Structure 1
Amino acid sequence: MQLNKIQNINFPSSSNDLNLGFTNDYIEIKSKLDEMLSKYKKYLNNIILKLDLKISNNLYTKVKPIPSFNIKINISLIEQLNNLIKKNNEFSSNFNFIINQERGKLIDHLVASFLKTEKYLSKENKYEKALFEIEKLDQKIQRLEREIESYESLKESDKEGAEQYTYFIQSFLSRNDIEIKLDEQSKKFILLRNNENASNLSEGEKTAIAFSHFLVSIKALESKGKFKDYIMFIDDPISSLDGNHIFQINSLLKEMLFSNKNINGQWDITCKQLFFSSHNFEFFNLLKELPLNKKESRYFIERNRAYNTSEIKILPDIFDKYSSEYHYLFKEIYDFNKLRKPLNSDKLLIIPNILRRFLEMYTLTKFPSSENVDRRAERIFTPEVSKRICKPFHFFSHLDNIDRIGKQSEYMADIPIACKELVTYIKKKDKLHYEALVNSIIK
């Protein structure tokens, strides 16, 4: 009986199964394995032949001993071969990624070679220097163009100046009978009223003309880009002008001295620093509405007539925070009404007087008549509500009984109720008025 032959190990084909980069290493490792396996097969075949001979002749026949196999099996070769096959398989799986990675390296190499060959960095530096020089030349061209425009405008500057004077004067006075024109022959300005030489100017007209000169001067500074370096002090520009001119002046000042070209959309002054002074409270309240970004400082000048001296002091809150007495009175009533324990307030006994002053003004705005405050209140509120509001301030605003000097009155408890009734009514029945008042005191 013949034993089965030793089967061959099925190794991968170096040409078909492996990628080109792994073939040489594979052939080298496989050749060593083939040599080792060939010797081992030969040894095993010799054993098989001996066994076949013994089986075919006689089991009890002695056979010459076979020498032991003294070739060491190199397991590491098998491990190397398996690792090589594993790397080959990983390369196949990541082929697209590796190709893109290598392509990127090639592109970087080609770009670097091009930059080096073409001296790109040196050319880039020259390009940047050229841009800088071009920018300098552009600025010089712009400066020269402005000078050309300035010289050309000199031909018309006098005429333009006269037109600006006229615009400001007529804006101040809100009428167009007064104007300034340029005499073509003498090249002098003429002041006209209804196309005739103006005379007997009023103090208000003189103020308007003087302040117009000031604004035209500002225009000239702005055209030269110098106004931003100036500190402006404007002293009571509405002096000698009627009250109805205050709004025109305030509008002109805003137009000339403020700009909203800030990148954040905020307003800025167009000069370096700006000061206003005035003794007119209506104009002062308009100045507080000018669009300044930062909180401006406000002061007042206190005069000591006895020593003929003056002192600059911080403006008191009563003038700074409130536009009028009416707003201040509402603020006191509003704050008192919000107290959790109004009967403990130090202002409890002065609130009736505040309440009376406020009601006199409020009822006149709602029902302007010559009737007294009680009659107006009855017309505006219901008679019942009117009595609840008016009763406390009538009692505490008038001292009609000598006994009250030595004792308190139970009517003190009605003071918070009267305030609450008043605030509640205005809030519900006169909503727009209430919201305007609240907005004026909460800033």
Structure 2
Amino acid sequence: MGEIKIDLTQIKFDDLDEALFLDDELILKNKNFIFAKNGSGKSTLADAIKKQKENEYDVHIFKGFESVLGENEKLNAFALATDGGENQKRIEELEHDKTAKEISKTQISDSLKEPIEENADNFFTKKKKAEKRLLEKQGVIDQFLYESGKFISSHQMPTLTENPRSYNKNSFKNEISKRQQLQEVEISRAKELLKSEPRLLNTYDFSNINYKKYLISINEILQSKVEEKTKIVRLNSQERINFAQRGLELHKHDEENICAFCGNEISIETIEELETYFSADEVKALKHRIIKGKDQISKEIERIDNLKLNSTDFYPDFIPEVEDEIQNINEQTKIVKTFLIELINSLEIKEKNLFSESSVLEISVPANIDLFNFNNLIKKNNEFSKNLTAEQEKARAKLRYHEIYNLVEKKHYAVMLNEQENAQENLDEAQKNFQFELTKKIALENEINNLDVEIAALQPKAEKQAINHINKKLSSKVLWELDFFDDENSGYYQIKQDGKCRGVKQLSTGEKNVIAFLYFIEKLEEMKETPKKNKIVVFDDPMSSNDDTMQYLIICELQRIFQGNEKNKFIPDKDFLIILTHNVHFYLNVQPHGNFKDKKLDKTDKNNPKLKEVSKYDKNNFYRIQNRSFKLITGEHEDFKTSYEGLWIELKDLYACGHKNSMLNSMRRIIETYTKFNSIDTKKFYKGNDEYLKLFNVNSHSIDDLSAESFTEDKEQMKDLFRQIFVDNDAGSHFEKYWEK
């Protein structure tokens, strides 16, 4: 037993995003019987089944005679076809269209092949000429690439490739995008690099000095002075003290002791007095500090002077940057030396002015000489030296790209490419035009093939077998039979009765419906060209206003189908049948009759299999659409017993939805059925009650009047009045039985 699911959430109200049904899905078995009043969505459901399942199944839907029987009022005949009918005039129009397209196709075909005339021009010749022109331009470029590749590979002093034998025209072509013009200095530098040998340089360890402490120490010395231990009255100024000190230095070892300034004799006492004055401990200490400071500063100046930097030992690539950095360091050196010299000069002045405080130096303290960048350049140079081979290959590549640049410019390679591009564009245009015409030709061929298919589909088909089957089924039910219009190949039919023909205009709706229904049944066995699929067959309200005889015929045909009597049309355990109807009588009679229950072994519990009763409600699915939901009927206690009971169920559904006009229609039908079955005079049933007559009298209003009439009673009042009319006729229990049920 098979099962399929229909996604109900995809079925929407027209122009609304809200789902038509409240359930998420509908489960269908091989045979399904669905009862629903008109307007509840039966036709919409049928369309949704086709939309959701037509890729997996061969879906057939019967929606009445309009979907099968095509009326031709001009011929007063009808066609039978699942896809409608067309006449011979349409076929002639298609044949005329086909001839015109074949002429166009021939003309295009001639333009796409070599012309017979020697100088003729068409899409074929234009494409050939463009192809030839492009090959010529490509040949010029190939020759240039070949010669240029050979020039690069054979170049000497220096060689421009690491492996000249492997360098060819493709190598040259691939490197054109890398071409770059070099300046003379760059060329010289690259050539020098190719001649270079590995060279490693030592970095400079030039420690930093705290020049601020230098300045502080010097200023401390300048602010120092010697306090006189022995007072010499005549040395009452710094100038005289300096003069005396210098004189002592000049005459200290002079035996004559004659003053060089005044020529007088200097006494031994004077010399001893001055020696005592200038040889005091404080004087010695201050002099020592000055001498030590001068010595330390002189050594720093010497250390700076010994800092000899040059760029000659660097690789060519680094020389410009190294020279810039040397100039920067020289400027730093100059600032530092100026500072140090000023410190020495201040000490030399202080050396002559020991007995008085000197002014402090107020000068800026220079930064230390920064060799960080210079040492980094040395490291880069050394790293470069370690990677010399790779760097030399880079230099070789630069020279090669320079030569490629020269060759490309000299031979006007850009012009060659432009000419090739123009030739390619001309060919593209020619191919585009050629392909456009070829596409037109293919499109015409497809159109012609489609016309052939359409013409074949419209050609009158031999339906004699189907017509014979239909007539056989109708022979015991009606006095007429189907007959071909004009001849068997026309594709149109009429009704024939007592040797006379009736056209489509004289057919009743019931006659059209039963003819269309039987033809639909016959077409179920038609083989499709596509690979065989299981079928889904949907009958959407197959009953119309047929008489009882036709209803019986339709019911019998449907039962033969789902009982498996015609497996060429429907296979019960593989195919799916869905019967949708609003007719309670039809619903009750079309389904499998009786409540017989089979015995089936239930193996759900493998250790304890049991016999289980299986009814038609287990084998098939029965549904009733109520308030936009699918109610699954699981047993006879939930299903209709009679058509009369169905009227009561319909009334309760309308009551739940609040459809007052439709409620009145159902109430009248119930009263009509009840009174006829019980042989009750309707006048007596209404008891002369005006309110009863106004609402429930079947003969007082037509359906159209009922729909248009306005009345004040709400649904509860209508229910109470309907109950009361049964109570007034001693049938209150009858109302309660069916309403509660």
**Normalized per residue, which structure has more helix?**
1
- Global fold match (TM > 0.5): no
The interval holding the TM-score normalised by the smaller chain is 0.3 to 0.5
TM-score normalized by the length of structure 2? 0.22
Between the two structures, name the one with larger relative contact order (CA 8 Å, sep ≥ 6): 2
